[in-house]
Amino acid sequence: MSALVAEMSNKALKLNIPLSVQLDLTYRCNERCIHCYLDHHDHGEMTTAELKIFSIKWRRPVFFYLTISGGEILMRRDFFEILEHARLRTFCIKLKTNGI
């Protein structure tokens, strides 16, 4: 662990906030990888409005990393709207996509 990550971890512990949060936007995907743990059935998704309300509650960054994953995140037509909204409230965003 680098000194910077150790310092961030200590600060998060002192502030009693998570260092990292993962948000899975969808079960949908345009691939069917043999190693995938998702069943790809429609279990429902949070709406754009629900996701915005969720991130508005953060008001200011309350964790260092947000990982946005799925399913395939680019299957959502509102993906860039969600990303822009989250970016205003989060220090660092990681995106997990198959890039197809």
Residues in contact with ligand SF4 by CB under 6 A are 29, 31-33, 36, 38, 70-72, 98
Looking at beta carbons only, is 34 or 49 nearer to ligand SF4? 34
The least distance separating ligand SF4 from the CB of residue 25, rounded to whole angstroms, comes to 11
The least distance separating ligand SF4 from the CB of residue 71, rounded to whole angstroms, comes to 5
- Runs of H (alpha helix) within the chain: 3-15, 48-56, 79-87
Alpha-carbon gap, residue 66 to 62, rounded angstroms: 10
What stretch of H or E contains 92?
Answer: strand 92-95
Looking at beta carbons only, is 40 or 52 nearer to ligand SF4? 40
Structure tokens, 14: 């002192």
